[in-house]
Amino acid sequence: MPGNLIYYALVLIVVAIVAALLGFGGVASTAMSGAHLFIWVAVVLLIVGVVFALMRRV
């Protein structure tokens, strides 16, 4: 699951860069906000997964 979120975050970053180069500041800002959200959700899911994996080993 975090792998898919990272993929979508990278896609949104590319969209934001292209939009910024073409002068669409609102679209670029929205795309970067979405990418930021996806990255944080992926990090949280990764940490939760690692914690549960460590708890299961003990």
Single-letter amino acid code for the residue at 19: A
DSSP state of 1: -
pLDDT in tens, 17-57: 999 999 999 999 999 999 999 999 999 999 999 999 999 98
Q: Report the chain's C-alpha Rg in angstroms.
A: 15
- Number of domains, the chain: 1
How far is residue 12's CA from residue 33's CA, in Å, rounded to a whole number? 9
Alpha-carbon distance of 13 to 25, in angstroms, equals 13
* Rounded-to-integer distance, Cα 36 and Cα 12, Å: 9
Between CA 36 and CA 3 the distance in angstroms is 15
What is this structure's pTM?
A: 0.81
What is the span of the domain harbouring residue 23?
2-57
